[in-house]
Chains A and B, each alone.
Chain A
Amino acid sequence: MDSKQLDLVLLIDDDEVVNTLNKIILRQTGLVKDIQAVKSGSEGLQELANYQKEDRWPALIFVDINMPGIDGWEFIKLMGEQFKGFKGKSIINMLSSSLDPRDKEKANKSTLVDGIISKPLSHEVVIDLCEKYYDL
């Protein structure tokens, strides 16, 4: 494994095109080895359960706030309940289209969430996150 790369990043967004776009951007930074994308909060929880069995864990998780069914904030809550102690292993960022002040405040207050990012995801944001949290 290249030490200059994150092992795994998980994307959760109901819009497949957005997932594709974000995958490309992540890949283009060359900072991530494996990028997985799922289309709903429940698929996200399933995916995390699988990782846990394989003893892997995503270094970065990007969660869209506005999703049908389990939305981004509910996903965070469920994740906190179902995967105790994941904190410290993952950097979690919410993805938002509107940067609603209420979402910003929620993100600031949450102990589980590390930040909120305005869509679209950009190379710069990914590079900054890798530098800030993983010294890459």
Chain B
Amino acid sequence: MKEEVSVRTKADDIVDELRRELEEVKVKLKEKEALFNSITESTLAGYWIWQIKENAMFISPHLKAMLGYKDEELENSVDTINKLMHPSDLPDTYSLLGKHIESNGKIPFEIEVRYKHKEGSIVWVICSGNIVKRDEQGNPSVMIGCHLDNTDLKKAEGVKKYAEELERKNVEMEQFAYVASHDLQEPLHTIQGFIGLLSTLLRDHPDKEVPQYLNFINQASLRMSSLIKGLLEYSRIGKEALMSKVDCNVILKEVEADLDRWIKESNAKIEVGELPSVMGYDMELRIVFQNLISNALKFRSKEPPLIKVSAVKDEGYWKFSVADNGIGVDPQFSEKIFKLYQRLHRKEEYEGNGLGLAQCHKIVTELHSGRIWVEPNNARGSIFNFSIPL
């Protein structure tokens, strides 16, 4: 009995020992698995195991989730990969895989491929793998690989590229406007020169229509010149300008002085409230005030113009307002008026090249990251507002 007991005890001991070891191994395995999972999860990676000879494949649930599928929705097979990978990327992938195996792992297997997401979008994946097991002859028998989701990076790259492209196009456009308007000016000046010469020669032509036609040609060329000049000025806005602290009170005084004759001729009254100093572009802000006040003088009603310029501090910005009692702006055009060459009136009614408010818009939004808009004035006329960040 004693012996039996002791034998049983020995066997028990061995079993217990083995059990303990097994437990330990299990725990270690669990830890390793957990580590592996946490690594793959946290690196947005999914993995696959490929039994090369049997051509059987295990696809990890995370890899499937990356493509929008639940684990049970996709079969664990090479076919699944073949179906979901972008067809154009399959040949290169298999070709590289073949090289990896033929070279016995010397040529690394890593390739960027596209997969089709369940929702139809494209998932960019960096797919890499390694031979992990060989058969008795030393031929590769198992490969393990992982999939790294690269879509966000790809998207970010795309956005960056797009932003750069846009920036380049913008510079190009400005350059184009500048060159075009400069070069268009040249022949126009020559035409104007000869119109002048012809007008002198034909001033007393017996056919009265001759000087009249010449006058029309002259007017059209002057108008074209003014349009081109406007475009030139528009494309020059903000070039080589530096930001500085700008006292808007000073600007307003200068603008009023510049427009003095016009203000007196139209019997206008301009009331200017206390204005702040802002960080901005001096010349350009002057153009904004000058254009807005000129417009208020130009688009006046039958009454003498009454123009109120004011500023209030709001959250994060100064809001400037130029209010008038003029003819107002039809609300349906309140966006359109800020676009290039947009005019609401025939040139016989109101002079202008259709660039003033476009200039204001460019100066406020592009140079000062502000906003410009128009709203109706209570009784009559309109209020042009613009904001400049503090």
Contact = CB atoms under 8 A, between A and B. Distances in A.
Contact of B197 (A15, A24, A98, A119): A24
A70 interface: no
Contact of B193 (A21, A98, A100, A102): A21
Contact of A97 (B185, B196, B197, B236): B185
B186 interface: yes
Contacts of B232: 98
Contacts of B186: 15, 18, 66, 97, 119
Contacts of A1: none
B190 A120 contact: yes
B184 to A, nearest CB: 9
Contact of A120 (B181, B182, B189, B236): B189
B182 A98 contact: yes
Contacts, number: 40
Interface residues of B, number: 14
Interface string B47-73: 000000000000000000000000000
Contacts of A22: 193
B192 interface: yes
A25 B193 CA distance: 9
Contacts of A100: 182
Contacts of A17: 190
Nearest to B186: A97
Contacts of A119: 185-186, 189-190, 193
B333 interface: no
Contacts of B240: 102
A97 B193 contact: no
A121 interface: yes
B196 A122 contact: yes
Contacts of B196: 120, 122
Contacts of B189: 18, 97, 119-120
B36 interface: no
B182 A21 contact: no
Nearest to A17: B190
Interface string B174-191: 000000011001100110
B355 to A, nearest CB: 16
Q: Pick from B186, B192, B232 the residue with the most CB of A within 10 Å.
A: B186
Contacts of A97: 182, 185-186, 189
Interface of B: 181-182, 185-186, 189-190, 192-194, 196-197, 232, 236, 240
13 contacts: A15-B186, A15-B190, A17-B190, A18-B186, A21-B197, A97-B182, A97-B185, A97-B186, A98-B185, A119-B185, A119-B189, A119-B190, A120-B190
Q: Which 6 residue pairs spanning A and B have beta carbons closest together?
A: A120-B193, A119-B189, A97-B185, A21-B193, A97-B186, A98-B182
Interface of A: 15, 17-18, 21-22, 24-25, 66, 97-98, 100-102, 119-122
